[in-house]
Structure 1
Amino acid sequence: MAAQVRYEDVAAGAELPVLTTRVTRDTLVRYAGASGDFNPIHWNERFAKEVGLPDVIAHGMFTMATAIRAVTDWAGDPGAVVEYGVRFTKPVVVPNDDQGAEIEVRGKVAAKLDDEARTVRVDLTVTSGGQKVLGMSRAVVKLA
């Protein structure tokens, strides 16, 4: 695990390391098993298309978890996240090939919120296939 980021060492505008995650159909099957979410839109191409989707899509909670990992990796402590929220704007489409899809997460410290509590707000930009897949993706993080 990375060293914990210290509040004194962070300024508004600081960028987090970019996190890129590859998602394949295999990833979705494994996530379905772990989460218990076996909705066919996440594994059955025919069903996904019948309900109006372009193809199989990643689980929303998987996409959300992938995004917050950029923050927990940066902070050095998964328990540092005290608040997190997103809006789902577009699905992550996962084609049935060896490449799958990529989710790219960029983060920036938007503001130092509370010197005493040592909290910052991190805003995330989450894209896949050149499209923003999460909106209003923000986390409040308590730093060391």
Structure 2
Amino acid sequence: MEKGTELPPLSLRVTRADLVRYAGASGDFNPIHWSDRVAGSVGLPGVIAHGMLTMALAGRLVTQWAGDPALVRSYGVRFTRPVVVPDDDDGALVEFSGKVTDVTDVTDVTDVADAEDGARVARVAITAVFDGKTVLGRATAEVVLPG
């Protein structure tokens, strides 16, 4: 694995049914995630996906590439724009891509649980685009690459 390696892109649709399932799993029943009336009353263009759901979907890009979620040692994002989810069967298309921006040697394997001697860590920049605009900022992950 080298700097500049691109992760296989991932395109996912988010529907209102997904929002209902996520609300049930997370306990986040804020009406901006299910009521067009409430979303509009607070200045949103419509019902929006939960930010943490969008973050989780972006994380899927990295875990599929890594092959094992346990190899992801850090992951973080900033929420920059909402994903507006229409009330139809198609939902909102969110496109994810990623690129390895750095690869470093792990000098202390105690810092990385179960890492093999000679392991390296890849830093991955993640891009999430909805409706032609980036919806996550500073989205990065660190992934342990076995030696």
Same fold, TM-score > 0.5, yes or no: yes
Q: 1:125 aligns with which of 119, 127, 134?
A: 127
**Aligned with residue 76 of structure 1, among 49, 62, 67:** 67
Could you report, residue by residue, the CA deviation over 1:52-107 in whole angstroms, capped at 9, with x for unpaired residues? 10000000000000001100000000011111111111000001112110111100
- Report the number of matched residues: 135
SS of the aligned residue for 1:121 comes to: strand
Partner of 1:103: 94
**Per-residue deviation, 1:114:** 2.3
**What is aligned with 1:26?**
17
Q: Give structure 2 stretches of 5+ with no counterpart.
A: 108-118
RMSD (Å) for aligned C-alpha atoms: 0.9
Pairing partner for 2:82 from 77, 91, 98? 91
**Percent same amino acid at aligned positions?**
61
4+ runs deviating over 2 angstroms:
113-117
Q: Distance in 2 between matches of 1:28 and 1:114?
A: 40
Per the alignment, in what secondary structure is the counterpart of residue 58 of structure 2?
helix
Counterpart selection for 1:66 from 44, 50, 57: 57
Runs of 5+ consecutive residues of structure 1 not aligned to the other structure: 1-9
The separation in 1 between residues aligned to 2:103 and 2:122, in whole angstroms, is 4
Structure whose alpha-carbon radius of gyration is higher:
2
Q: Cα offset for 1:113? A: 2.2
Q: What amino acid maps onto 1:128 in structure 2?
A: F
Instruction: Provide TM-score, normalisation by structure 2.
Output: 0.89
